[in-house]
Structures are given as C-alpha cells and as structure tokens.
Structure 1
Amino acid sequence: MHFKKTGILLLFLGFTSHAQQSTVMENEQQNTEEEQSSHTNNGSRSKQTKSNKEVEDVMTVIADTTSAEQLKKMNSIIAGRSTLSLGLIEQKQADNVAELLNTLPGVSTAGSVRPGGQSINIWGFSKVEDVKIIVDGAHKGFQKYQQGSIFVEPELLKQVEVNKGPHDVKFGNGGFGGVIRMETKDAIDLLGPNRLLGGMIKHSFHSNNHQNLVTGAIYGRTEDDLLDGLIYYTKRNSGNFKRPDGSRFMFSEDDMDSYMGKLNFRPNEEHTFTISGLRSKRDSWQPWAAKFVEKMTPPTAQQIQRYGYKGAWLRKLVKRDQTDSSAQFKWNYQPTYNPLIDLTFHTTYSKTKQHDTRPKKYNPVASLGTMGNESWVSYTDKTFELENISTFDTGILDHKLLIGTQIHLHDRDTLMYYERYKNNPNYNNGYFQPAYMPSGTQQTYSFYIEDQLSIANLVLTPSLRYDYVRNHGKKNYAQAYNDPDPRFGHDYSPVSYSGWTPRFGSYWQATNNLGFFGDISYAWRAPTVDESYEVQFTPSNGGSGKISATSRHLDKERDLSFRIGNMLDFNNIFSYDDKLQIRTTLFKQRVSNEIFITRGFNGTICGPGRQCPLGQSNYHNIPGKKIIKGLEFETYYDSRYWFASATYSIQKGERDTAPQAPWINNKTYVATIAPRTATLTTGFKIPSWNIKAGWNAQFVRKQDRTGKEDRNHDGISDLGAYALGPSSGYTLHNLFATWQPTYTPRAEIQFAVDNLFNKDYRLYLGENTYGMGRNIKASIIVKF
C-alpha cells in the first residue's frame, strides 16, 4: 500500500516540527472531564459555557503533561476521536445529521439528499449494525430495507462525537465502523452569563428547496443551580430539492416537527438527575425507497387520462407517517471525599416507526418487494446501564477503573398488507411480515471492565468485554413463509451467541506538544434479526425452495482492528493564544466470517457443476478475510483573527473472494469504500464586530474500484448486483459567515452557501444519485 510511506513520512515530519518549535501547551482539558463523569457543579458549568464560545470545531482536547492529574484524563479513545462543537453545528445549518458529518475524514454519507434517505459510512462500513448511532445514550437501530437510518433533528444538538473503529469498551456486538454519539442542548448552553431565565427564536431559510425552519425555546435555572431545564421546538417545511441541472427531486418535500424537553436536578453536590425526551414527526408523500430512488419515471398520457395528473403520480408513491422518539433517565452519584465511587445508572428508550399507505382509488403500483399496499414498521430499543469509576493508585501506577454492566433489548415489528393476496389463505389473506424483513427480538446482556493505568507520561488502557446475544424470530403470519416441512428450513426458534472482546489502548505524551496513540481490538458481531430469520416462499407457493431457509447456523463476525497515530499541539506560534493541531492516523481492519446474503451467481448457487439441496440459508459466512485499511491526516489552526483546516482521507478494501460466489478465489474490491477525499477551510474573524466568515472546499476523487470489475475473467462483474457504478471526481466550494451585532448582542445572523458554483456531481455511496444544487442559507437568532 503506497500510502504507508506517506503515513511514516507524516509521523517523521511531526518529530521534525517538534524539534523546530518549543512551545508550552496550555491546559485544554475542560470538556474531557465530561467524558469520564457526568457529575456537574457550578464550576464545571461555567467552564462549559466558556468552551462553547471557543472556536474549537473538530479539535481534540489534549491533556497538559505538565500536570499528572491532566494526563490521567487522557486515553487513546479521546486522542483518536473527532468532535463537532455547537458553533460548527450552527454554522453548517444542516438539513440532516449526515450533512454535518460528511466533511470529517473517514466519514461519508450513503444514500440520497431525500429527507430520511441518509445513512452513515465510516471506514467502509455502512450497515446500521456497523455504525452505532447514540442520542443522549439512546440507541437508534432503524434497519428498514432501502431506507435511511438517522432521523435526528440537527437543531437539537450541541455536540457530536465520532469514535472510529470498534475500540470503545462501552460498545459491543458490532460497531466495526465506529460510534456516533450525539448530545442534545441543555439550558446552560443557551443561557447568558448570570441569567436565570431566557428564550430563543430562530428562523432559517434555504433557497434550494425554499425551506423554512422555525425554532423556539424557553429555558432557565434556579439561582442555587438546584434545577435547570428547557423546552425546545423546531419545524422544517420545504419544497422539492433542486439538482445542479435545475431539475427537481420529485416528492422530496420535507415537513417535520421536533420537540424536546430536558430537566437536570441536583439536590446536592453529590447527586445529579437528568430526565429528557425528544420526538420528531414527519408526514409526506415520497417514493417507497427513500435512500436510492432519484429520477422517477413520469406517468404516461394514458395514465394521466385515467387517474388525472395528480393521481397518476400518487399511485407511484406512499404516504409516509414517520415518528422518531427517545427518552432517558440518568442518575449520577459521586461522593465528595470518596474517589472509589462515581456511580451512574442510565436507562433509555428509543422507538422509530413508519406507516406507509398507497392510495387505493388510483390502483397503486404495489409489490411484495416494496411492502405491498400498506405497511407498518417499528424498531424499539431499550437500554439499562450501571457503571462505576474508581480512582486510586498502587505504588507508581495511577488507576481509573471502570466496571459496568448493560442490557440492550431490541425489538422489531413488521407487517404489510398486499391486496393481491387478500383471498389467499397461504398469505394470511394479505396480512403478513415481509420475508426479507422478519419480526423478532435481539437481547444483549453485557459486562465490561477497563483499567486506565497512568505512569509518568504513559497511559495504558487494557479492557475486556463480554456479550451474550440472543436472537428470537417471530413466526410469519403467512404459511408461505412458515412452512412446517423441515426441508425448507423455516425455523424461527431462538439462537444465542456469546464471547469476549479484548481491547488494548495506549497513549504516550512524548513531549508537551507531541503525543502518540494506538489501539488494538478483537471485536465480534452477532447476526441481526434480518440475517438470522429472512426466508423465501416454498414450492407449494410457486417458489423453487433452493434458498428458502433461515440462517440460524451463522457464525458471528470477527474484526481484528488496529489503529495508530500521532498528534501535534502548539499554542502561541504566530500570535498570542493561537492554536495548531495536526493528527495522523493509520488503521487496518481484518474481518473474518463476514455475513453476506446468499443469491445465485452466473446461474449457480453452490458453484459450477454442483447440485444444491433444498433449503439453502438466505445468508452465509464468507470464507477468507475482508481487509480495509487507510490513512487520515488532519490539521486545524485557530487564532484571534484567522483560522484554517485541512483534511485528507484514503481507504482501500479487498476481500479474498467474491461474497456471493465463495468458490471463486480471486480477490474482489469492497464496494462500500468511499472515494479519496480532501477538504480545505480558511477564514477570518473580526472580534470587535463579532464577525466570522470563511470558505470551504471538498475535493472528491473518482471511484473506480466498485465491484464492477471482472478480475475472475468470466465475463461477469465480481460483485454482480451488489457492485456500485463507477463515479467521477468533483470539487465543491462553500461559503459561511456569522455576525453578532454589537448593538444587539442577543441577536445573531448566520449565512452560508453550499455548492457555490452549482457543480453537477454524483454521490458514489448513494449509487450515483445526484447531489444538491446551489443552496443559499440564512438564519437569524434572537435570544431574550
């Protein structure tokens, strides 16, 4: 891999830069404290308010090694993560969370710009089970076929953390790509200094789809900080998105209402209670497959004559009613004089549901593959977590011992009505679960322990996690998918998986300005409910019976993951109180027993000349390994009058064989690898006028390793239907500015232009769907 040399060179340059500059680093550990403890007092809240005013964007907070106490708060997870601050979130004025994240190195959007059509890809992993989405501790596990996976309103967020790779002991059973942790706003993020009560009104307008966004909030705290809380509401309403060529994404309107409430209660300095909840509701007409449908085929003249113009379009669509909600309760107990106890109990609830209907009077275009004439889907996640952090020392070693236990209960209910089968008893007269989206539950019981050992300028973090996972399918209402004949394998009985995940992290603060970090993890993932219990109909219902069985025999996936990197931090380089950070990361993931869907390839299922018995499972484990490796480079500079940043990301991925044809030994490319990407940002600040403005550019290379290749020389693309089409490279330019008038300090104006030159481009991971045309955004915020 040629970029290994690049990584080594960058590490060497890091040493060279340090040799040329000798600056003393200031203490910037204000937010890191929150990572390790939820304990909050007056002092910590004042620090948080200060931090929110700083422009740190995606900088990682680094410990000051001149203080041994600060080094104890550092580890490899903190060193390797990226954080989006409140200021950057507001600056982006994003339509969705995916838009917030796709400029981070190694993070890409998969899907289209259509509302609800986005999912996240990290380091080539794009499945929901491989990229965990966490909102205020609540898991978001929406996995509906051909739909997006994240529906959180960006206006509610104050911080987004991206931890890449499976290196965090608090998360198991998947997460090979990483974990995205989002935190919603608190009253103290919005209150001005020394204020007890406040409110906020915001209005935004986006030109591309004529979007109006209205936000209102009321928040406050008691003088003794016993209570603080807020009530937050935001509404998005828009027309159709516009492509760069001027055409519209038909039926891409957005109409979403979001609500949030949060209350923090501190009866004394040792106890903190938090209760919060949020809910978003969207109701619109759209294509069934929100993620990939782009240019819809217009109705014919005959269809318009028969159904009318509106009806001819609506018969191709679904009326989608979607609700996404979550809630949390957290209690933290931290005795003032007992460092062995920092106890937290955290329970969360999350539910996402969709109800799709097709207009009966227009003879809708309905099929089994698009969940019929009407469908109901709900995904529910409940979590319970109890953990304690003990701080103590044994001789020269300082310890931060984390012990915890978790319960995660995931339940999915699916149902469709297919009018064509309303008189067919084998399909329960039209009401049954889609065979490719079975109902079921997954229960996970976990225990983890991590000891963060600090000695001198070195932090070692060994950890061990145990997970027990039990999948339980729900029998399909349709006998066609619940055939009692054992030859066809319709077995929905429970299956269990268990195992250990060892991890080891290290952080070495070589000098005041130079730090190295590294992680190695051997993680695993149990099959999802879909992978365990998907079936097909049997010969008595018109099927072949060749690939009809559930997949209860699957082995769990394993991922041996490595990550190494270094960071350079400097202050006071060119001017007083400026900051420079440079981070280089090399990573490699080796996945074995990868789970992939079973389908025919080149006219055969089991290989040329082989006869397959009936009842083949719908999923199988692929022999050999999947290797994904890459390099990331990031640099961020901030000063009183000027700021700049640059990032670069390259990934490569190969399998030892073709996933749908395991008898082929030739290597194949991994289709979900994002193109090589670089970003540049620069701008200026005028503190006396409270003005900040800048320019950003994103450079995306073409992607020509897509699975369309024929490395086996058999005249068929390596990945067949699971390949993606090649994409062309492109460059996007964006502008942004914020202004807080000095004569009205409680007002702020935000301005941005996305795709300044209206570049025509296609999204590779969106299966070459069009990107969005020029979009001018403006917001005005008034606080009172």
Structure 2
Amino acid sequence: MNNSGDQIEEPMPVSKPVKKADAEEVDTLPEVTVTDTRTKAPETGINRTLPITTITSEQLQRAQPSNIFDALRSVPGVSITGGPRPSGMTFNIRGYGDNEDVMVKVDGVPKGFEKYRMGGTFIEPELLKSIEVQRGPQITSGSGSLGGTVNATTKNAEDFLKPGQKYGGKAKFGYGNNSDEYSRSYLLYARPDERVDILYNYSNRQSNNMTLGDGTKLENSAIESISHLLKVSLFPTDDLQLVTSIVKFDDTGLQPYDATGGQPGFFGNVVRTVDDLTWSETLNYDPETPWINLKATVGAGHTNLHDLIGQGSSFNSPFNPLQPQCNGVVNTANPADTMTCRGNLNDTYEYKTETVDISNNAMFFQSGSFAASLLAGYQFNSSEREISRFYDNLNTSMQMNYPDGFNASAPPGRKSFEAIYLQPKLEIGQLTLTPGYRQDRYKVEAAGGTLALLAPYDQKSTIRFKEETWSLGVAYDIFPKANPSKLTFYSNYGQGFRPPLIDEYFTQGPFSRCRALLMPISGPDSLICGDLYQPQRSETTEVGVSYQTPHLLNTDIWFSGKLNFYHTYTSKLLISLREEADGTITQDGWERRNGVEVESFLQYHGWYMRSGYSRINGEIFNGLTFAPLFTAPGNALNINVGAELSKHLEVNVTYRKVSERDILLSGDGTTNSRYVFGQQDGYEMWNAGVRWKPNDQLTLRLIGENLKNELYRLDGSMGGLGMYGPGRNVKFLVEMTY
C-alpha cells in the first residue's frame, strides 16, 4: 500500500552509507557537472486510489502551524472538534468526532487515552516531518479507527544535512501578536559517522490568553508547553536501518475540566499538568530480494495527567465547592476541627501504552504485465490506565465517596489486542486487485475498585471477543503503465469496528447506561454494563477517479487531482444500548453518511495551487428516534496558492470557507428528552505567508492568520455548539541555520 501518494517518477533515493571498501578504492576523477533534464515529480501528498492525504515537510514549513490540528485543517473530510486550546482539540474525520474514533500514531506508536471530554494528542508540529491522514478504516491502521488514522512522523537528521556536512544546527524564534505567544526551538543534527544519524530538537511555547474576533479574551487559554525529540538512526549494513525515537511533551496551566466544551463548562476549571512520553524502535530491512521488505516497530509511552481542583471563583467546580470558613484544610472558625475542610481535590490519571507492529511486503512474481505481492502483518497493543481521586484532607467525609481514591465513574483497567492481516495485490495489465483480511482478538480487563463491585454478582471482570474485517480494492488505469500520465478509476470496500471503552464496559453511576432507571427489568444488578455491549461495526464503499500528468493540456503544468464519493453505514451504535418494554436488551442504533471529497495540486515552474473540498451529510437512529447526523462538519473548501518568486522569496495565500452546520442544542433523543436542533453559522477565513531567505544561514517568515479577524466557531463536541476560534494573529519567525 502506497500511503504517500503515487508519483510519476521515483524520488531520488535516500543516501546510504558508502561501503568501506568502495570508499577506499575509488580513484579521484575530474569534477563533472551532470544536469538532469527530467521534470522531478512534486510531493503532492495525494494517493491516487486510496482516501489518504499526506501533509508533506514542505507544506509544514510553509504553514508553520501552531499545533498539529492547524496543520490538518485543509485535508478533505477533516475538521477540528473542541478547542481552541490544543488540550481540548480532537480530530473529526468524516463526521466521526469522538476521540476513540480517530487513531493517532507518532512514529508508529498509538497515542490518545480515555478521559471525559479531553483531547489526547500531545505533539509539537515543530518536531514533525510529515503527517499522513487515512480517512476511513485501512487494513494496517488497527481497530477502533472508524473515522480514520493520523500518522505523524518525526524529523530525521538527513532532512537537514547538506552534502558533505557532518554537523549542523538551527535556531528558530517566533512571536504571535494574538496571545503574545513566544516560541523558540533549537535543533542539533549530526552524522559523525557514515552509519550514524543523530537529531535533537527542543521547543518551548509560551502565550497569554487568546483574543477572539470581537476583541474579547478567551479566559484560561494560555499555553505553557515544552517538547523534546531525540532521534538516532543507525545503518549497520546497506540494507538495514535501526531508528530510535523519543518524544516528550510537558504542558501546564489553568484550563476547563471539560477541555472540548464550553468556557468554563459545567464542571469548572482545573490546574492541569500533562507529562507525555513516546518511545519507539523501528527496524527497516530491505535486502536485495523481492521476498523481504520488512518493517518492525516496538514502542511504549505514557501520559501522566494531574488535575488540581481548588476552591474559589477561579475554579467554580461542583466537585469541590467553596468553603468560606476554610483556608485549605484548616477550619479558621474552629482549628480543632480536622474533618470539615477538604482542601484541594486531586485527580491523577496514569496511562501506559505498549505496541508491536510488524509487516512485510513480499513480491512473489513480476513479469511483463503481471505482478503478485503480499502484505502481511502482526500487531499488538496494550493500553492501561490507573485513576485516583483524593482530597488534600483524607479525613473529610467527602473522601468516603472515593474509597482508596477509586472513582466508579472513571474506572481503571487494561485493554489489549492482537491482530493479523493479509493483503495480496494482483496487477494484471492495467487492472489492480487488492483484497484484504484482518482478525483482531481483544481482551478488556477491569481493575481496582471495579473488581469489588462486580464480585458479589459473579459478573465477568475480563471481556474477550474476536472481530474479523474484510476489504477489497479495484483500480483500472486507462493509460498503459509506460504512459507518464495516469487516469485511474477505482473502487474500495472496507469494514471496521470500534470496541467499547473501559468507561463504557465498567462504569457505574450516572454515566452508565445500565443504571436502574434505564434498565429496571433485565439490567445487571451491579449497574455495570460489562459484556452487554457489542462493538460498533462499519462498512464503507468508495468510488472515484484520479488523474495526474506532468503536462496538463500539453503545457508545463504538473497536475494531480482526485474525486472520491463514499457511503458509510455504522451499526450497533453504543449509545443505543437500552432495555425494551418487555425487558429485551437491544443495541440497534445506526448511522448513515454520504460524502464527496475533492483534492488537487498543480505546479507551473515556481507557482503552485493546492485545493480541497469536502461535503458530508447523513442520518442517525439512536434506537428510539431519527435525526440528522449532527456530528457532521459543515461543507469545507480550501484553496492555497503560492509562488517561489526567486530562490530567496516565496509567498502564499490560503482561503477557507466553511458552510453552516446542524447542531444539537439539547436532548438525548428519548421520549422525555427529545432532540432540539439549531444551526451554527459558517465562516470565511484568509491566511497569508511570506518567506524571505537572504542567505543560506538566515530565513525570515511573516504569517498572517484569520486576516479578516472573523468571529467564528469551531465544531462543538458531541455535535453541540462550538467554541469561538482565535481572531487575527500575525506571526513573525526567524530561523538561523549553522
């Protein structure tokens, strides 16, 4: 599977270490200049037959996004839910907006975690080389990604070293006037030996509260984050590469408890501290045999999050309301009283992830117009979480609601799966067939205080299940393979599923769908749903056409474009688990969505234009009532035009138009709480950028975001009214390369 987009011409190969014998025995010849007259295919990032778009390194450099979410706004089918703080943003792909519906990977290691209305993607875009967006389930992406997968790849030393250079460095300083944001980044890279690449990047971002389009401030939106990247690449042999990557992110500040919702939201504010770490070891083995093209990734990571919920107007939390007679845990009216005053409330979340991902692409036969290959893989992933809630005063009566720190509404536990997949590929002349099969075996385990809640009823604390999914891709090239122009008609079919969360399986309390009021007849006595849930399933069918040519209309215009239509049916919605009047427990909710995605890229000498358009509409049945698909984003059009006026000067302009969208104002779709819908206004936005590079050591960038100072809303979590996005922001950046 080509996840980076098909190209007319293969890119120049990555330099590999020169064999020692070759280096010692080569005679020195007179210098000869060779000019390649062929037109080098640009990196469009558009895959010709799959719903995959890659944000290239060049695009990231031009846009200089403040976070990974800003970097993906122009991808068809992608919108941002929550925000505008990075900790409150989640990806919405094709109308799937829940955190668990879109998988995010950093250097092959899955990220994200389960927490009420909280984003879980902590990565500084300054560290990234490229970002690949897979829309819809792909056979290699893993389970749970009904909306799609975001694959982020960090930088390498080879991306910066010039020919013959062994050591180098870059310092970048930036300022944004919207929130008085100061950013700085230091990059060191080296190739001290022909078989060793080393890169280290440090980034620091500090800002005050954001300013909205009407001039008001968004309270508690300040940012204070630090990121580190250490990457070491080893080349033991010419066909073996070992890459070690360590990414660390730290963030702290006063934020809403409900990070993806309103300000400050029903649950008030918290002082939130995030410590996020991802480690991966990747092996690439590509010997001179068609049978082996092996990639293996072993990785681990953790996200440690601490929410401090204090008292007073800054917090306004129902979990820890103000006690006027108290100073912390001291009762000022009666110092002898050591029971009444609670002090701060501390929520601690510790998430650990382990992953193994091994794949091999074997070419079995290739001759003339026929070729046969097989992509085979094995995956393992484990995510474990420990959660505790403690008041500063452990003797207060409120602590009795959380024995030993256990919060039944946020149970601890472990989820793991093993998967195998097979994807043969047959090329018969201009026809390509790509069937696929994937099998996932899941195990979800309760832990901590949940075990004591289940034990009296002999209810399972470990849930196991197996899911099988199938896929099929068919593509036909109208022109022969030798033709540099490619006109391809294609169709793809794919299945996917999402397992219930630990929260859904093992929650007890107001967030459980198995509490007595909802299931008075056949509901579990423990009031914990457990294995009553079935995984959500989806089926997606796509048809489309792509065209790319180096000489559009017999000119020097390089063009690549794609038109894609899709239909997705999602069954067994988790929100539809309920008890019928006769005591039967059902889960018969479904969603239907239809969409169109258009993307194109053209380049004429130093000029380029990139565009994307997406439209989604659909319907949802929650088991009781029908409604429009209120999680669908508004129709979006993005156009980016730029020019490299000289080797020293480059300019670009971006236009974005988002239409109005249906939103859910209130109700849960039941008879006693019917849905009430409204509409969120659309908006238009203009961005622009200028890059001036007076010499090889200095680069200056001036970037304007939301130049019209539009007052607009982002998409709201759970289909609700979104929060306001930031107003006009002018950024100035200085890069110094050594």
TM over 0.5: yes
1:781 partner letter: E
User: What is the 5 A alignment of 1:5-404?
Assistant: 27-30=8-11, 56=42, 58-60=44-46, 76-77=49-50, 80-166=51-137, 168-222=138-192, 225-294=194-263, 317-336=269-288, 338-359=289-310, 365-368=316-319, 373-393=345-365, 397-404=370-377
Q: Secondary structure in 2 aligned to 1:769?
A: coil
Pick closer, same or farther for the CA change 1:770–1:56 going to 2, 3 Å.
Answer: farther
| Alpha-carbon contact 1:567-1:583 (below 8 Å) kept | yes
1:637 partner letter: L
Q: Secondary structure in 2 aligned to 1:327?
A: strand
How far has the Cα of 1:726 moved from its partner? 2.2
Pick closer, same or farther for the CA change 1:580–1:431 going to 2, 3 Å.
Answer: same
The answer to which of 151-160 and 418-427 deviates more is 418-427
| TM-score normalised per structure 1 | 0.80
Q: Secondary structure in 1 aligned to 2:634?
A: coil
| Alpha-carbon contact 1:472-1:492 (below 8 Å) kept | no
Pick closer, same or farther for the CA change 1:705–1:429 going to 2, 3 Å.
Answer: closer
Q: Secondary structure in 2 aligned to 1:174?
A: coil
Aligned counterpart, 2:692:
739
Pick closer, same or farther for the CA change 1:288–1:363 going to 2, 3 Å.
Answer: closer
Pick closer, same or farther for the CA change 1:582–1:144 going to 2, 3 Å.
Answer: same
1:209 partner letter: S
How far has the Cα of 1:456 moved from its partner? 1.4
Write out per-residue CA displacement over residues 689-734 of structure 1, whole angstroms, 9 at most, x where no aligned residue: 422212211111111364769999x79543x6xx7x5201111111
Aligned counterpart, 2:705:
754
How far has the Cα of 1:473 moved from its partner? 1.0
1:507 partner letter: A
How far has the Cα of 1:582 moved from its partner? 1.8
- 2-side partners of 1:445 and 1:715: how far apart? 42
Pick closer, same or farther for the CA change 1:426–1:196 going to 2, 3 Å.
Answer: closer
Aligned counterpart, 1:567:
546
Aligned counterpart, 2:472:
504
1:354 partner letter: L
Q: Secondary structure in 2 aligned to 1:87?
A: helix
Q: Secondary structure in 2 aligned to 1:531?
A: helix
Structure with the larger strand share: 2
Pick closer, same or farther for the CA change 1:180–1:696 going to 2, 3 Å.
Answer: same
How far has the Cα of 1:202 moved from its partner? 0.4
Structure with the larger helix share: 1
The count of aligned residue pairs is 677
Q: Secondary structure in 1 aligned to 2:407?
A: coil
Aligned counterpart, 2:433:
460
How far has the Cα of 1:575 moved from its partner? 8.5
2:418 partner letter: Y
Aligned counterpart, 2:733:
779
User: What is the 5 A alignment of 1:390-469?
Assistant: 390-393=362-365, 397-418=370-391, 422-424=395-397, 427=400, 431-469=404-442
Pick closer, same or farther for the CA change 1:643–1:533 going to 2, 3 Å.
Answer: same
Q: Secondary structure in 1 aligned to 2:569?
A: strand
- 2-side partners of 1:703 and 1:350: how far apart? 37
| Alpha-carbon contact 1:537-1:543 (below 8 Å) kept | no
How far has the Cα of 1:238 moved from its partner? 0.7
Indicate the RMSD between aligned Cα atoms, in angstroms. 3.4
| TM-score normalised per structure 2 | 0.84
How far has the Cα of 1:267 moved from its partner? 1.4
Write out per-residue CA displacement over residues 185-207 of structure 1, whole angstroms, 9 at most, x where no aligned residue: 00011112331211000011111
How far has the Cα of 1:334 moved from its partner? 2.6
Q: Secondary structure in 1 aligned to 2:552?
A: coil
Which residue among 555, 563, 568 is the counterpart of 1:584?
A: 563
Aligned counterpart, 1:16:
none
Q: Secondary structure in 1 aligned to 2:680?
A: coil
Pick closer, same or farther for the CA change 1:682–1:187 going to 2, 3 Å.
Answer: same
| Unaligned ranges ≥5, structure 2 | 1-5, 20-35, 322-342, 480-484
Q: Secondary structure in 1 aligned to 2:86?
A: coil
| Alpha-carbon contact 1:436-1:530 (below 8 Å) kept | yes
| Unaligned ranges ≥5, structure 1 | 1-24, 44-49, 63-75, 298-314, 599-604, 614-619
Pick closer, same or farther for the CA change 1:87–1:537 going to 2, 3 Å.
Answer: closer
User: What is the 5 A alignment of 1:610-689?
Assistant: 610=581, 622-655=587-620, 657=621, 659=622, 662=623, 664=624, 666-687=625-646, 689=647
- 2-side partners of 1:625 and 1:296: how far apart? 29
Aligned counterpart, 2:503:
530
- 1-side partners of 2:353 and 2:256: how far apart? 27
1:672 partner letter: T
How far has the Cα of 1:248 moved from its partner? 0.8
Identity, % of aligned positions: 22
Q: Secondary structure in 1 aligned to 2:547?
A: strand
